[in-house]
Amino acid sequence: MSESSDNMLPAVLTIAGSDSGGGAGLQADLKVFHALGCFGTTVVTCVTAQNPDCVRGVEPISPAMVAEQVRTVCDGFPIAAAKTGMLFSAEIIEAVAAVIAECGLKLLVVDPVMVSTSGVRLLREDAVVALVEKLIPKACIITPNLPEAEVLVGHAISSLDELKLAAKDIGERFGVACVLKGGHLAECETATSAEGAPDVVDVLYEVGRVDVFSVPRVNVGETHGTGCAFAAVITAELAKGSSLHVAVQRAQTFVAAALASASRVGKHTPLGV
């Protein structure tokens, strides 16, 4: 008996590090994929010893093994969209860029993970060039947060206008769409909620157009995993056929809802995915 296409789940892929604390990395991606009706597959780039407070160790997987994971997953499943997260080294980035081209993965979301929430480097300094030259040009969209965008543009960003210019500069420089996440922007005079509190703003640059998305800021103590979840939502939505504009809008509202519905687990409050 043949399977009905009505029962077919979109298959998506995350190429990322493992977060032993379960709040970020490929563990967060899989939760998001499942919540949005996609079948998640994984390629592990690094094993980390971490929890929401700290990263105590990082052990990279060999570039050859990373590439072989991608090939094997793509041989077994029709991957509709993929995302990258923590890649750690230039060698892993180069292997990922090459195998993505080899496997013909077209819808690629690049989350340029550089530093953990606790301040530990998750991308070696000498790997930034490889990220910029080898991988970002293969993306359909990149999702830098404020500190990552500042690395990419080479200067500080402190206002909504500068956020817009940076998204445009990055997008035009690499020929990709760019959504610049403004959660780190402490205050934005042009985007306030009805109660007068600053909203979180995210700026999407796509083919000469700049759009600003805003959502009321959720007052929380922990934001561990929000960047991973944001990019994972975009990946899942693209796999289901959504436009970039719709995918970014849904990513913003999904993360806000996940923050608002977070529950205590011991002393931490993981995302309510």
Considering the candidates 183, 228, 235, 269, report the single residue annotated as catalytic.
228
Considering the candidates 42, 143, 223, 235, report the single residue annotated as catalytic.
223
Active site residue 226: yes
Considering the candidates 171, 181, 182, 188, report the single residue annotated as catalytic.
181
Distance CA 252, CA 255 (A): 5
Considering the candidates 22, 40, 85, 227, report the single residue annotated as catalytic.
227
Distance CA 166, CA 168 (A): 5
Helical packing angle, 90-103 and 63-76, nearest 10° = 20
Active site residue 223: yes
Amino acid at 57: G
In the block, tokens 């800021």 appear at 217
Distance CA 18, CA 27 (A): 7
Active site residue 181: yes
Considering the candidates 21, 25, 85, 225, report the single residue annotated as catalytic.
225
Tokens standing for 36?
Answer: 């949005």
Contact criterion met (CB below 8 Å) for 14 and 82: yes
Distance CA 196, CA 191 (A): 9
Give the angle subtended at the CA of 183 by the CAs of 144 and 130, to the nearest 5°: 15
Active site residue 175: no
Q: Is the dihedral of CA 101, 103, 105, 110 positive or negative?
A: negative
Considering the candidates 45, 48, 117, 226, report the single residue annotated as catalytic.
226
In the block, tokens 């029709």 appear at 78
Residue 268 β-bridge partners: 265
- The strands making up 54-60's β-sheet, listed across from edge to edge, are 54-60, 39-51, 11-19, 79-84, 108-110, 141-142, 177-181, 199-206, 209-216
Active site residue 269: no
Catalytic residue numbers read: 181, 223, 225-228
